[in-house]
Amino acid sequence: MHGQFEQHVVPHLPVGPSHQVAPVVKGLWRGRLAENAMDRAAALELRSAQFRDGDVDEDALDEVCRHVLVEPVDGGPPVATFRFLHLSDGAGIALTYSAQFYDLGRMKDYDQPVLEIGRFCTQDGIVDGDVLRVGWAVLTRYVDAYGIGIMFGCSSFPGNDVSIYRDGLALLKERYLAPERWRPGIKAAETAKYSEMFMDYKPTLKAANQQLPSLLRTYLTMGGWVSDHAVIDRDLGTFHVFTGVEISAIPETRKRLLRADAA
């Protein structure tokens, strides 16, 4: 896979000094793009602690993704991180992380730049909302700088049992399914078609909001949409739904708030 990945994905990545965006500082935190192997190692160390109890969490995509770090302004290791893959259009979408689990054939003709976002995590015990705002601010600067048309990724729920998230998934079914033109098809071996499982169930909004992961809720406030099925990930002990956000569909009030943080 590694050789094929290098051949097809790297040419889509932006090059040159403009590849960087300026760091964002807010309160106690600084968000920035990783600049060297040491930065990437710090991101992978935090990821490994959060996703695999310290076992190494790394794949071939890490070599061509950009990594974002949120760290204390007065020094110290990152407290949050995520990665993103920049493609010039949908032509290389079959080689993304998400495409391992979802049939994304409907998106291959997408003609604007795209970002796949993944491995978003924070250090245990971090409750300062500025941490996530700083991370999003770095991403906002990048999206604006490169005219990104759509962001997407996999939004994970803890555990493999979809039934305990009945209200949350029923709400996704009721309000947030992907438009037909982009809707992912089934590809993974183990899936749960929650749009059918909870077809006749009316969710309680309070319970649904408590069950939806915070990152997914953030995407949804930006006009995001999701796949009609979940993929069971036995490797990480989670299940996830494909999630997309078209930049042009983000509400203007939300755009202003994101850009204010990124200013």
Confidence of residue 6 (pLDDT cuts 50, 70, 90): very low
Q: How far lies 96's CA from each of 10, 101, 149, 224, in Å?
A: 12, 10, 16, 19
Q: Which amino acid is at 194?
A: Y
Report the share of the chain in percent with pLDDT over 70: 93
- pLDDT tens string 215-225: 999 999 999 99
Distance CA 68, CA 80 (A): 8
Distance CA 237, CA 51 (A): 9
- pLDDT tens string 83-139: 999 999 999 999 899 999 999 999 999 999 999 999 999 999 888 889 999 999 999
> To the nearest whole number, what is the mean pLDDT of the chain?
91
Query: Six-digit token pair at 119?
Result: 């491995």
Q: How far lies 18's CA from each of 15, 30, 181, 250, in Å?
A: 7, 20, 33, 25
Distance CA 51, CA 225 (A): 25
Distance CA 143, CA 114 (A): 9
Query: Six-digit token pair at 253?
Result: 């009030």
Is the pLDDT at 162 greater than 50? The verdict is yes
Distance CA 42, CA 171 (A): 37
Distance CA 136, CA 142 (A): 10
Q: Which amino acid is at 90?
A: G
Global confidence as pTM: 0.90
- Contacts with 139 (C-beta within 8 Å, 6 or more apart), sequence order: 68, 84, 115, 117
Phi, psi for residue 228 in degrees, rounded to 5: -85, 5
16: Cα within 13 Å, side-chain hemisphere? 4
Is the pLDDT at 15 greater than 50? The verdict is no
Confidence of residue 17 (pLDDT cuts 50, 70, 90): very low
